[in-house]
Structure 1
């Protein structure tokens, strides 16, 4: 059995060599995927190498099956998210195919599920190098049938990053965009050719579609590299994320219009959204979400599921599609996050089976043939919006075989 599993993993690895690994739910049985630093409710999924912290990957399996066992594999990735050239024994102590054994059944919920939790590194798996990592979870014995993917980063701090995001940009002042400027000091590294040995990325609010890479320094002074006045680092400012909370089905929480039960699910109708032509200040969490419920002692097991209905009033927007945005859909533009236009009601609509909790979400218009989302037509973009920008610096010397993640900085911008 073990020999068969090893062969299957090799075949899967060869088939997946060219793909990009991002957070992804690949089964409609998977719910409430959260990837964070263990012990922190809202955090970016980055830890330091041998720093004593763990990444926690939590999720539910709906419609649990008797005797079902889940396993996981850890994949080391290059800066661009593709599988690196390293063999598992080179980037970790331990084995792939181990069981996800921290699990418990739901309690007193209308929708039955089993809650799973995986923390890395752990007693069986130690991560040996820095860089991007992906975890694939699948039914034991079937690594080719991936149920979900989680992505996180392990940092070995070797560079100093300082930066800011400002509305004073190279194209406008206090308008609808924000620009990121930053410096990287490599004094702890021997970097002879920074244009080739360093890979630098910037992304907004953890959204892969906003990620900008292949950045080159605009100035070099000793060990200090400047990334300033680069128009690729001008981002649409947008507006604050919208929010709703559903902690119980007994009454409507913030952002909820009504709640009803249609067997077998509770249905949660959110208040209808539409274009916002003014900046709306709100203390959002930049697209994040987390599980919570009213009057329960252990939300991970006691929070229930309901079908949440989203509605965005708008004329049909030609030349593209409208998608939901946020951690509730892993910031992916796919069939799960795509909204359908209802001609009768004159609005875009979507329905997701979600676990009770606090949610940030937004809307993005993606033009046909493109991968980057933007504010839907009529929805304003405002320099006052508070966004997060994550700067990642990778290092690979001339003879290196993988991209070391040597620096990370997250800054706020408005």
Structure 2
């Protein structure tokens, strides 16, 4: 009975750690990114400094710990033990803790950079950083990938060559040049992942090379590497929280500030609207303080989506990196039949935000087709990750990464 209990506990713990992506409601503004300004990618060269920031709205200066674990290409746990890929400690307390200053919403801000003097990562690969409380309970997780430049990955993007989706999808093709690494069996030793706008939820994996040349793998598919183009992200900027600003129609002062965004009206015939965006990401900033980490306030953001009629059999969500592209009760929209409008109220920290509206079908599929539409000319960022695990190897190295910003065919 004791063995059964231990196994059950271990299985449950692993499922929670590697399955959870949604933080509790009192944890907000989670952002993992390089320290360089306007760089949002968590797929970076080995040795790059990443910074994780988040707020605890309970504001009581809890002790939080970070834990870093190496993962396989498919995000299952690696068989390596921590001292085989880390120099120092796998888990450590977060020391950089500050309380908010001069804000209506009290919060405690937490920040940690790695590598640091206590934790240095020595191998490339997929990594999961977990945040735990003082009782070793998991609070949330975030993914990042560290790569070596052992292979050159050339990426190209074009409108779909599949005539059925010529105007709605984009095709990603790429070539892997690996003269520095001997690959005996690419079908078993090489894995790839293709990401659109840093979103792992829509990543394409399990793709085999179509053609082989000496020291070169060629991936040139017509359908398997197609992504829906989507439309440009909507945005707002409430760096001045007290007054109407970019795409903020009205401001009310209650217990907190309430910012009402201009409604977005769904049209029967969708049209592509070009406006520069940051592909779903967000930037915390304020003009009402010098340190946005602790002086940016929180506002209740009111989102509205006007429709001709309710979407039958589908749920509607506000979607973006502000909640790691998750679908949860927090960002689900409610339908108001008297106004034919979907609404959602989401507490967000001051800043510049990209967002969009998506529908979720009964089968779990997520789509932008019913709200903003899909267009092959949409600007999107694509990343190709190449993993290498030779016969007898113990973990998946990342030997190369290719990136391209597709600006559409106009």
TM-score, structure 2 length as denominator? 0.92
- The structure-2 alpha-carbon separation of the partners of 1:262 and 1:45, relative to structure 1 and needing over 3 Å to count, comes to same
Count of residue correspondences: 398
RMSD value, Cα: 2.0
Query: Contact 1:105 / 1:114 at 8 angstroms: preserved in 2?
Result: yes
* Residue in structure 2 matched with residue 259 of structure 1 by the alignment: 251
Alignment of 1:12-411 (within 5 A): 15-17=12-14, 21=18, 24-49=21-46, 51=47, 53-65=48-60, 68-140=62-134, 142-143=135-136, 145-171=137-163, 175-263=167-255, 265-275=256-266, 277-314=270-307, 315-370=309-364, 372-377=365-370, 379-411=372-404
How many Å apart are 1:334 and its aligned residue?
A: 2.3
Distance 1:225 1:311 in 2: 47
Q: How far apart, CA to CA, are the structure 2 residues paired with 1:208 and 1:28?
A: 22
Cα distance in 1 for partners of 2:151, 2:315 equals: 40
Matches of 2:104 and 2:369, distance apart in 1: 36
Q: Gapped runs of 5+ residues in structure 2? A: 1-6
Tell me if structure 2 keeps the 8 A contact 1:21–1:151.
Answer: no
Preserved CA contact (<8 Å) 2:211 2:218: yes
Shift of 1:173: 7.9
Q: 1:135 to 1:308 in 2, by over 3 A?
A: same
1:230 Cα deviation after fit: 3.8
3-state SS of 2:386 partner:
strand
Q: Which of structure 1's runs of 4+ aligned residues deviate more than 6 A?
A: 10-13
Preserved CA contact (<8 Å) 2:22 2:326: no
Q: Is the 8 A contact 1:36 1:44 kept in 2?
A: yes
Q: Structure 1 residue 238: deviation in Å?
A: 1.3
Unaligned runs of 5+ in 1: 1-9
Deviations 1:223-278 (A, max 9, x none): 11111124121111111000100112221111111111222x21111110122521
Q: Aligned partners of 2:190, 2:8: CA distance in 1, in Å?
A: 31
- Residue 29 of structure 1, CA deviation: 1.3
Please tell me whether the aligned partners of residues 170 and 229 of structure 1 are also in contact (alpha carbons under 8 angstroms): no
SS at match of 2:65: strand
Cα deviation, residue 337, structure 1: 2.5
- Give 1:214 shift: 0.4
Deviates more, 1:253-262 or 1:312-321: 312-321
TM-score (normalised: structure 1): 0.91
Structure 2 Cα separation of the partners of residues 331 and 278 of structure 1: 24
* Structure 1 residue 11 displacement after superposition: 9.4
Aligned partners of 2:366 and 2:118: how far apart in 1?
40
Question: CA deviation digits over 1:315-340, x for unaligned, max 9?
Answer: 21123222222111211122223222
Is the 2:161–2:222 contact (alpha carbons within 8 Å) kept by the matching residues of 1? no
* 1:109–1:187 Cα change, 3 Å: same
SS in structure 2 opposite 1:209? strand
Judge conservation of contact 1:159–1:407 (CA < 8 Å) in 2. yes
Deviation at 1:33, TM superposition (A): 0.8
Q: Does the CA contact (< 8 Å) of 1:324 and 1:337 recur in 2?
A: yes
The Cα shift of 1:177 comes to 1.3
Q: CA deviation at 1:401?
A: 1.7
Contact 2:60 2:108 in 1 (8 A): no
Say if 1:20 and 1:80, in contact at 8 Å, map to a contact too: no
Moved more, 153-162 or 373-382: 373-382
1:87 deviation in Å? 1.4
Q: Post-superposition shift, 1:391?
A: 0.7
1:56–1:118 CA contact under 8 A, matched in 2: yes
**Counterpart-to-counterpart distance in 2, 1:233 and 1:22:** 25
